[in-house]
Amino acid sequence: MDRRNFLKLMGLSGLAVAAPASLWTSKSLAEGEKFNGPYWVTIHAGGGWDPTLFCDPKGGTDGDRQTINQTFSPDAIGQIGSFRYAPISWGNDGKEVFSVQRFFEAHHQRICVLNGVDTTTNNHDTGTRITWSGSSIDGQPALGAIAAGHATAAGALPMAFLSNGGYDATGGLVPLTRSGSLDSLKRLAYVNRRDPNKADELYHSNDTMARIAQAQSARLSAARDAERLPSVRRSMDSLLKARQGNLGLATLAERFNDLKVVKFDEAYPGVEDLAGIGGIGDLERLCQEAQLAMTAFQAGVAVAANLSIGGFDTHGDHDNQHIRQMIKLLRLVDFVYKEADRLGLGNNLYVVVGSDFGRTPTYNQGNGKDHWNITSMVVSGPGIPGNRLIGSTDPGYRAIKVDPATLQPKEDGIRIEPRHVHKALHKVAGLAGTPTEQQFPVGAQDLPLFT
Amino acid sequence: MSTRCAKCHTPDGEAVNEKGAKLVLQTASYPNFLDANLASLQEASNEKFGDKIKLLAKPLGELEHGGGKILEADSPEHRALQELVKRFQSGDPCPDARIASVDGVVMMTSAETARKAAIDLGGRLPTAEEEAQVSAEGEAGEQALDAFLDRLMTEETFYERLREIYNDLFLTDRFLSYGGAAIDFMDTNVYPGLEPYRNDEKPEYNSPDRPKINRALAKEPLNLITYVVKNNKPFTEVLTANYAVVNPFLAKAYNVQPTFANPQDENELQPVQVMLGSGQALPHAGVLSTPSFLNRWVTSPTNRNRARARRVYQFFLATDILKIAERPVDPSAATAHENPTMTDPGCKMCHAVMDPIAGGFRGYDDNNYESFQGDRPWFNDMVAPGYGGTMLPPQSYGAALPWLSQQVVQDPRFATAAIYAVYAGFTGHKPLAYPTDAVDSPGHQLRVDAWTAQDAFFRKLAEEFKAQNFNLKVVVKGILKSPYYRAKSLAEAPGEKQALFEAIGTGRWLTPEMFDRKIQAVTGIPWRKRWEWENIFKDKEEGKADLRLNRGLWLRDDFRLLYGGMDSDNVPVRLQEPNGISASVAWRMANEMSCAVVAWDFWKPQAQRRLFPLVDIKDRPEFNGKAVGDAQVAIKNNLVHLHRLVLGENLTPDHPEIERSFSVYLETWRELAAFESQQDKKQDLHWECHARYDYDNLAFIPEDKQLRKDEDYTLRAWMAVTTYLMLDHRFLYH
């Protein structure tokens, strides 16, 4: 959207004003710029997923709790491109929701899989933090926060970092935003419209709105300058910053006019086959969150979105419970890719999928699996080679060390850890060395993961 | 010691974990870690080998110290250790300890504190009489404030607030997600009273009681806290109560028949003994044995209640057990251990702490979480149930949870946990963490001083809490009267001392629930969907008993998460600062509320007005381009009133901020009045902004009595000012 169209939208929203270009001095949007990417979607499998049911399959014997996978034998493991995959699927009401095979068939050309990643922990909180920030330090910002912080360093965006769960520490780089219904967001995009759908029914005239905003800004700035208590001063800074970021909502709201919310029982591209299947309400909700995030990307008002699906901490009845969640997760990732392609964002979107850690190579007495520090990560995006497999595990599901130069197995090599993945992601996405990244540098050796 | 000795002597350190060293040093994440470490060192200082004190000899590499030589004999560190031992022996450990303080803080007056507390605890403003009392100078004002706080803590909103604070921890409100979310997890064999409410073929299933029973089940842990605090019982009873607390609806679920003054009052609470379907009396253990708590914090056949143990530590012992194991571990290398949780050092460092507490939940089913059977066996392949080195006695096997609760409340950390919860609830900030950055990093000593001052405050408060028989109101009052709640400024700019004052004063972005109450306290009405107002008026006209006044509140429904709130489920954490979206929520609120209340307030007789008692609707600020003196005086006087009402500011009519507000008023009025000479004079108020609802009496205003016109352009000028003030930092923050 160019500056002229943006200002037109401002006018439609009832937020445009005569004198200043914005009400709360929104720097980036006042210049008519939207954020053009790259965008980030990080997807967290909450509780510790089992990659042996996905991208690092081992196989085993049904009924033998000492084998890694009871659901399938080693000879049933499939291969697509560079990837060996677990032959599992899940469905309900007699219909298949998805399968690992379908996932790899559809997306293997764009993804890079890292197996044998060592989170160095079996602690949920620590593992989640390490996976999504690359560090065990409390409060270290999530990957999405780093990306959003960098993108908004020059000017705020209203939904720069969206999250309804997962690891979403911001390190103060960017305000965290929850997502909501389209109707609610439309009300917020047009705060001066009595009816959000009627552009000419305003509470105050545009001049009055501008007057109120200018007076408020002046009062807040004066109070901020006079304030001596650090906590109160900081809160005033937060409010000033938040107000800089609320104007672009109108841009987003315009998208809503033509938006059809994804619902499985109504025709929607990419999910037609899910109609009439019970027990997937959580998947539908997550697809809606993903849809909103990508609509916000398209409108240029968001940079990164966290999606989180729980239910992976399967200490009991592992295969039944875990396969169901794994399939839902992969179907969510599938939707993200398809929706991104449909909106023309596919080549400008980073997707990272990971979890707290992995799960043990054997089953416990309750046929569950407990915590295990070895896991996998899946990444894709601009500059990341697709159909690429990095790292591996041995038959006991232990990480095999790699040569840091060639990434080939090497006995005295190193284990790949999430911090290495973050380091490489920062580099490939142009975040490395930026002032934002330098506030929270990732302490890790450079590995040629994506070169 | 924090760098040299703690390398190996932390609970998970090599010396303790693998060599069985007696000297155990807690890390800074352990509450009261300084006390614990001092006690451990003092005990170690009594250990001798021959005439050598082990604590002094071992760091020099003597007496077969596993860590070898880590200090030189005449080093400053060893001399400091000698001094410490000397002080232990003299019984005067800290004769010259520096008392950290945060001098220079300007506190709110008693009247200002009363206003803040009234909104916070009571969802209201002080009455004129109360304000006069707390406005007294000096000690009289403070005494009046004490009495006022005591009064607030008898009001129902205080208990609503307390439930919010503890739900931020327990997250049991997850079971309010729909009207049967709690009922649906209950096993009717265990609780037969619920059978008709789970069976959709029974009339009770569709009765109005069902959602109330669900609410009562979900709220049971929070209602127990309410009951304990309201009746000035020791807060220890939240864990040790050998009774359940039921309202008339939970009584139906539990098949008990206590006497209620009002069988329809969901807030009336009575203690009862619950009998299970098996005929066994449930061994109550406060909140821990409530079905809501047990189903919110579940276990599994292999988890064996360890997740619950973690929550016991978190909620009642101020300890984040996951912090114990933040060092890198490699379970994938631990397969050599047959039972890793008991023998692998990487596992047992947590499990030795966690598993005994987990054993307190002995008797509760692993899959049917609220089901209790006293003779269920426990596991032999995990650390035995107990507490702090004391084993669960065999006679308590059938009632382990009450035994565990009794142990927990005797731990000093129990009081700390209660103080932490109340502190975070009322200030919006977590207690300061002990600084773990390098001692020579900039501001480190100031951060230590800030922590020390806060820690000293907490300790003193804990002593008072215990001395007052664990009455939680003592803690609430202590925090509300402290600089952490009352600081409003500093006498001097902090300069380089900024770190010292980081935790002082609140500057807190209000939670949606607090903001909702504040809007009502100031304007007289909550921010509600217009159509829901109309439904309430219609229900009242029809004589319905339950008007459901909690319906349609924007900040509790559509905007709850967007404003930074949480839902106890998918979004369990509140945002601490605003973003572009929440800033827009505030603006929408300010526009809608000014539209709703301005004409309505002017519709009332002047003496009864809340917002505009000092000005007339006809008070035009100018006539023919010239100032109308009397009108402008009235307008400015009313602005002074508004600044006080909305923002709690006491300003004079000539104050620059009143001038700024007046400018908003005057320029808006001029913009509108310019239409008077035109064909369309624009004197009609927007339909939504008519005075058509009598909110005080929850009734429609007859059409011929409604205020629909703004013939003097003053109403919309006041709307602009009202929007302006309701967007203010002082209104949005607390």
In this structure, what CATH number is given to the domain that contains residue A118?
3.40.720
**Chain B residues touching A219 at Cβ < 8 A:** 657, 660, 728
Tell me whether A136 touches chain B (CB under 8 Å): yes
Residue type, A143: L
Chain B residues 400-429 within an 8 A CB cutoff of chain A: 429
Which residue, among A299, A292, A261, has the nearest Cα to A179 in the 3D structure?
A: A292
Considering B63, B90, B117, which residue would you say is the last residue of a domain?
A: B90
Statement to judge: residues A26 and A92 lie in one domain: no
Q: Is the pLDDT of residue B448 over 60?
A: yes
Chain B residues 13-42 within an 8 A CB cutoff of chain A: none
Statement to judge: residues A83 and A214 lie in one domain: no
pLDDT, residue A246, reads 64
Statement to judge: residues A78 and A134 lie in one domain: yes
- In-domain check, residue B471: no
- Mean pLDDT across the stretch B209-226? 97
Statement to judge: residues A351 and A310 lie in one domain: yes
pLDDT, residue B180, reads 92
Q: Is the pLDDT of residue A157 over 60?
A: yes
Statement to judge: residues A99 and A210 lie in one domain: no
Which of A34, A202, A233, A238 best tests the B interface by mutation, with the highest count of B CBs <10 A? A238
pLDDT, residue A22, reads 46
Q: How far apart are CA A66 and CA A62, in angstroms?
A: 10
CA B476 to each of CA A251, B121, B360, B461, B503: distance values in angstroms, whole numbers, following the listed order: 46, 10, 30, 10, 17
Mean residue pLDDT of chain A comes to 88
Mean residue pLDDT of chain B comes to 91
Which tokens in the block code for residue B379?
């596991």
In this prediction, residue B334 has a pLDDT band, given cuts at 50, 70 and 90, of low
Closest alpha carbon within chain A to B587: A191
- In-domain check, residue B532: yes
CA A96 to each of CA A77, A328, A340, B479, B567: distance values in angstroms, whole numbers, following the listed order: 19, 11, 23, 57, 31
- In-domain check, residue A178: yes
Statement to judge: residues A26 and A58 lie in one domain: no
Tell me whether A365 touches chain B (CB under 8 Å): yes
Statement to judge: residues B564 and B696 lie in one domain: yes
pLDDT, residue B260, reads 97
Statement to judge: residues A283 and A186 lie in one domain: yes
- In-domain check, residue B429: no
- In-domain check, residue B635: yes
- Mean pLDDT across the stretch A227-248? 85
Report the range of poorest mean pLDDT among A78-87, A168-177, B336-345: B336-345
Query: Which domain range does residue A22 map to?
Result: 1-33+204-246
Q: How far apart are CA A144 and CA A170, in angstroms?
A: 8
- In-domain check, residue A446: no
Q: Is the pLDDT of residue B438 over 50?
A: yes
Statement to judge: residues A329 and A360 lie in one domain: yes
CA angle B723, B729, B733 (to 5 degrees): 115
Report the range of poorest mean pLDDT among B61-65, B328-332, B560-564: B328-332
**Chain A residues touching B310 at Cβ < 8 A:** none
In contact, B186 and B291? CB cutoff 8 Å: yes
- Mean pLDDT across the stretch B449-476? 95
Statement to judge: residues B555 and B680 lie in one domain: yes
Statement to judge: residues A122 and A269 lie in one domain: yes
Query: Which domain range does residue B596 map to?
Result: 512-732
Contacts of A257 (CB under 8 A, 6+ apart): none
**Chain A residues touching B570 at Cβ < 8 A:** 164-165
Tell me whether A118 touches chain B (CB under 8 Å): yes
Considering B351, B386, B410, which residue would you say is the last residue of a domain?
A: B410
Statement to judge: residues A411 and A305 lie in one domain: yes
Report the range of poorest mean pLDDT among A422-436, B14-28, B309-323, B566-580: B14-28
Inter-chain contact A184–B322, Cβ cutoff 8 Å? no
Query: In this predicted model, which residue has the larger pLDDT, B439 or A411?
Result: A411
Considering B90, B108, B131, which residue would you say is the last residue of a domain?
A: B90
Three-state secondary structure call for residue A8: helix
In contact, B552 and B527? CB cutoff 8 Å: no
Tell me whether A232 touches chain B (CB under 8 Å): yes
Q: What's the number of domains chain B is made of?
A: 3
- In-domain check, residue B695: yes
Q: Using CA atoms of A227, A232, A237, A243 in order, give the dihedral in degrees to the nearest 10.
A: -110
In this prediction, residue B430 has a pLDDT band, given cuts at 50, 70 and 90, of very high
Three-state secondary structure call for residue A261: coil
- Mean pLDDT across the stretch B56-75? 85
Chain B residues 312-341 within an 8 A CB cutoff of chain A: 322, 325-326, 328-333, 335
pLDDT, residue B559, reads 94
Which tokens in the block code for residue A435?
């002032």
**Chain A residues touching B429 at Cβ < 8 A:** 231
Statement to judge: residues B527 and B406 lie in one domain: no
- In-domain check, residue A450: no
Q: What's the number of domains chain A is made of?
A: 2
Statement to judge: residues A241 and A252 lie in one domain: no
CB atoms within 10 A of CB B203: 8
Chain B residues 594-633 within an 8 A CB cutoff of chain A: 594-595
Q: Is the pLDDT of residue A31 over 70?
A: no
Which tokens in the block code for residue B363?
């008797």
Inter-chain contact A234–B507, Cβ cutoff 8 Å? yes
- What sign has the CA pseudo-torsion A18, A21, A22, A25? negative
pLDDT digits (tens, 9 = 90+) for B523-533: 999 999 999 99
- In-domain check, residue A448: no
β-strands A39-45, A304-309 pairing: parallel
Statement to judge: residues B404 and B540 lie in one domain: no
Inter-chain contact A238–B578, Cβ cutoff 8 Å? yes
Q: Which member of A120, A235, A247 has the closest CB to residue B330?
A: A120
pLDDT digits (tens, 9 = 90+) for B701-713: 999 999 999 999 9
Which tokens in the block code for residue A229?
């208590």
In contact, B204 and B197? CB cutoff 8 Å: yes
pLDDT, residue A33, reads 63
Statement to judge: residues A28 and A4 lie in one domain: yes
Report the range of poorest mean pLDDT among B171-180, B386-395, B493-502, B518-527: B493-502
Inter-chain contact B583–A399, Cβ cutoff 8 Å? no
CA distance B621 to chain A (A): 17
- In-domain check, residue A445: no
CA distance A191 to chain B (A): 5
Q: How many Cα neighbours within 13 Å face the side chain of A94?
A: 1
Residue type, B650: N
- Mean pLDDT across the stretch A378-395? 98
Inter-chain contact A374–B332, Cβ cutoff 8 Å? yes
- Mean pLDDT across the stretch B624-653? 97
In this prediction, residue B84 has a pLDDT band, given cuts at 50, 70 and 90, of confident
Report the range of poorest mean pLDDT among A134-148, B99-113, B465-479: B99-113
Q: Is the pLDDT of residue A220 over 60?
A: yes
pLDDT digits (tens, 9 = 90+) for B639-686: 999 999 999 999 999 999 999 999 999 999 999 999 999 999 999 999
- In-domain check, residue B639: yes
pLDDT digits (tens, 9 = 90+) for B257-280: 999 999 999 999 999 999 999 999
Query: In this predicted model, which residue has the larger pLDDT, A264 or B545?
Result: A264
Residue type, B550: N
- Mean pLDDT across the stretch B629-637? 98
Q: How far apart are CA B140 and CA B145, in angstroms?
A: 8
pLDDT, residue B93, reads 56
The complex's ipTM works out to: 0.90
Query: In this predicted model, which residue has the larger pLDDT, B383 or A45?
Result: A45
Residue with tokens 């002229």: A4
Chain B residues 656-715 within an 8 A CB cutoff of chain A: 657, 660-661, 663-664, 667-668, 671, 686, 688-689
pLDDT, residue A17, reads 29
